[in-house]
Amino acid sequence: MPDIRNIVILTGAGISAESGIDTFRGGGGLWEQHRVEDVATPEAFERDPDLVLRFYDMRREAIQTKLPNPAHEALARLDAAWDGDLLIVTQNVDDLHERAGARRVLHMHGEHLNAWCTACDARTRWTEPMIDRPACPACGQKALRPDVVWFGEMPYEMDRIYSAIRTADLFVSIGTSGAVYPAAGFVRDARQLGVRTLELNLERSEGSAWFHETRLGRASEVVPEWVDEVLAPAR
């Protein structure tokens, strides 16, 4: 693949689907039997913190039993071998990119395995339940919440993401429905800046028309194929 030096990759729930982690929109608008508004908004947390904490406790426990799949492994291989700039911007809150070995990962929607203290702003790696309101290791206050970006909250590190897109030669979107903004708008931003755009997905996303190229298939197949192609000239 000539003329490509800097790559931005956006991943969504679809890349982790074959690891056994439910996607968002898979179940008829429900996310593990819950409406999004009931578990993934600041208002829901205010209204019924026990419900929200239990929901995230369950997801946090579940993701620790899951394993990276060949798509995560292929991106880790690309990360290790690629000399140019590379940024894997993930909307996923699981840690499967890191467990596969990828290093250049940015979690724009936060991480299940982090706790955020709303009293002192500290972030702490967290693998245990939060339902019993454990104390923040930094300040001792019982003010921890999952460090995930809920609907209505600002995603993390947007400046860094836009600056990577501005200098990218290639933008690749993997396993994301194109329904959640601002991530869904990255392809349009990239396109308007003259960046080449590629979509790898099971089915066309909502913003599919913005991509120069779309390859349909399971992430565990299309992602390793694409990585082999990108790395081929370097062999």
Give me the residues that bind ligand NAD (CB under 6 A), please. Answer: 12-14, 16-18, 21-25, 91-94, 109, 175-177, 179-180, 201-203, 205, 218-219
Instruction: Please count the other Cβ atoms lying within 10 Å of the Cβ belonging to residue 235.
Output: 6
Task: Write down the least CB distance from residue 227 to ligand NAD, Å.
Answer: 14
Q: Which residues are catalytic?
A: 109
Task: Write down the least CB distance from residue 88 to ligand NAD, Å.
Answer: 13
CA distances from 64 to 25, 127, 191 (A): 22, 8, 36
- DSSP, res 230: H
- Residue 165: which of 6, 35, 39, 44 has the closest Cα? 6
Gyration radius of the chain's alpha carbons? 18
Task: Write down the least CB distance from residue 164 to ligand NAD, Å.
Answer: 18
CB 106 within 8 Å of CB 86: no
Extract the tokens encoding 66.
Answer: 């899951």
- Residue 12: which of 188, 175, 154 has the closest Cα? 175
CB-based burial label for 11 (10 Å; 0-12, 13-18, 19+):
buried
Task: Write down the least CB distance from residue 127 to ligand NAD, Å.
Answer: 15
